[in-house]
């Protein structure tokens, strides 16, 4: 917990410096604490330190933590990992925001679950095989489908640039996502992780997804 408090302070300082450099305001940025692989207690501890937004990658993993965290008033849970259509219904029940909507079928499944949900569309901007997400040329069609879904509230775009140790390598991807969002009248931008969130903030991020810098290295995945 003391580690977490220190790490959170360090992350907040990094956010403030990036916000200062880019002439933005701290309130424009939502820190999403990524708790995948860590036990439910990590969410409870982070909540006690004032964090309210949490990101998880797997429906089943978060489902197993749900009992331990569902009493946390005002906590918002974001799915930030790939979502299979057959898990959409459950995801709609346990998450507030699905950041990884990447196809019409998934949007329709989420809509059919009947619960009001915030969604972000995951955009694939790199050629890497492993990256899921909608291709920029298919985005307008997906936006149209999502906007026609009465239970879905489209709040943003999300992306993952190709991995690089050098955060500057991510900058063109972040910039491109920002341009695409502006062109489509979308306000939210979920981009930036532990090692590159300053660059993401400089390029307009509204949501940064931070795991390692808060909770330490993950074992395994």
Ligand X SMILES: *Cc1c(COP(=O)(O)O)cnc(C)c1O
Distance CA 216, CA 159 (A): 22
Q: Tell me how many residues contact ligand X (CB under 6 A).
A: 13
Residue of 34, 180, 181, 205 interacting with ligand X (CB under 6 A): 34
- When asked if residue 160 is in the footprint of ligand X (CB under 6 A), the reply is yes
CB nearer to ligand X: give 57 or 102: 57
- When asked if residue 212 is in the footprint of ligand X (CB under 6 A), the reply is yes
- When asked if residue 18 is in the footprint of ligand X (CB under 6 A), the reply is no
Name the token pair of 116: 């009001």
Residue of 107, 193, 200, 205 interacting with ligand X (CB under 6 A): 193
- Give the range of 8-16, 19-27, 59-67, 203-211 binding ligand X by CB under 6 A: 203-211
Residue found under tokens 């749900």: 66
Residue of 4, 8, 36, 77 interacting with ligand X (CB under 6 A): 36
Residue of 8, 80, 92, 120 interacting with ligand X (CB under 6 A): 80
Residue of 35, 57, 111, 159 interacting with ligand X (CB under 6 A): 57
CB nearer to ligand X: give 47 or 58: 58
- Give the range of 20-28, 162-170, 177-185, 208-216 binding ligand X by CB under 6 A: 208-216
- When asked if residue 132 is in the footprint of ligand X (CB under 6 A), the reply is no
Residue of 133, 156, 188, 211 interacting with ligand X (CB under 6 A): 211
Distance CA 110, CA 101 (A): 9
- Give the range of 19-27, 128-136, 176-184, 205-213 binding ligand X by CB under 6 A: 205-213
Residue found under tokens 């995951």: 122
Is residue 219 classed exposed, middle or buried when 0-12, 13-18 and 19+ CB atoms within 10 A define those classes?
exposed
Q: How far is CA 184 from the centre of its chain?
A: 19
Minimum CB separation from ligand X for residue 150, in Å? 27
- The size of the chain, in residues, is 221
- When asked if residue 159 is in the footprint of ligand X (CB under 6 A), the reply is no
Q: Which residues lie near ligand X (CB under 6 A)?
A: 34, 36, 57, 80-81, 160, 193-194, 209-213
């Amino acid at each position: 917990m003391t580690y977490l408090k220190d790490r959170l302070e360090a992350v907040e300082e990094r956010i403030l410096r990036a916000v200062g450099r880019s002439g933005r305001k701290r309130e424009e940025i939502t820190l999403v604490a990524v708790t995948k692989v860590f036990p439910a207690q990590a969410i409870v501890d982070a909540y006690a330190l004032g964090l309210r937004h949490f990101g998880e990658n797997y429906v089943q993993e978060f489902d197993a933590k749900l009992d331990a965290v569902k009493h946390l008033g005002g906590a918002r849970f974001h799915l930030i990992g790939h979502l299979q259509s057959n898990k959409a219904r459950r995801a709609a029940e346990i998450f507030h925001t699905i950041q990884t909507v990447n196809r019409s079928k998934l949007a329709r499944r989420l809509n059919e679950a009947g619960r009001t949900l915030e969604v972000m569309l995951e955009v694939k901007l790199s050629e890497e095989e492993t990256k899921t997400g909608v291709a920029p040329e298919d985005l307008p069609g997906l936006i149209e489908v999502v906007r026609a879904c009465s239970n879905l509230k489209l709040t943003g775009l999300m992306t993952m640039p190709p991995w690089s140790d050098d955060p500057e390598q991510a900058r063109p991807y972040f910039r491109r996502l920002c341009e695409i969002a502006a062109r489509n009248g979308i306000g939210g931008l979920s981009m930036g992780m532990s090692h590159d969130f300053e660059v993401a903030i400089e390029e307009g991020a509204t949501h940064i997804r931070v795991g390692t810098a808060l909770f330490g290295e993950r074992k395994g995945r």
